[in-house]
Amino acid sequence: MDPNFMLKQMLDFNKTAYDNSFSAMLTIQEQNEKMVNTFLEQAAWMPEEGKKLIRDWVGAYKKGCEDFKKTADENYKKVDEFFASAKSE
């Protein structure tokens, strides 16, 4: 069996597992964001600066997740291209 084919299959499995795990994590993150927003709406005792800080923190986390996913997808694409070029040679 071709070693490149085996590596490509392993990579495809890894990407599928990564996508599924990331999707599950994103679902949990979205639920947590809704819960935090509900809490902030009901927290009359909390100053606006504190609420803004928490909203900024949630936004930074969300952006970090999006950037991580984008970087991972780009790197998976590069590895796919490498295997495609190795196959054609």
For residue range 14-64, what is the model confidence (pLDDT) as tens digits? 999 999 999 999 999 999 999 999 999 999 999 999 999 999 999 999 999
Q: Comparing C-alpha atoms, which of 7, 58, 12, 9 is closest to residue 31?
A: 58
Query: In angstroms, rounded to a whole number, what is the distance separating the alpha carbons of residues 65 and 49?
Result: 24
Confidence band (pLDDT; 50, 70, 90) for 7? confident
Number of domains the chain is built from: 1
User: Which structural domain range is residue 62 located in?
Assistant: 3-88
pTM, whole model, 2 decimals? 0.79
Query: In angstroms, rounded to a whole number, what is the distance separating the alpha carbons of residues 66 and 47?
Result: 29
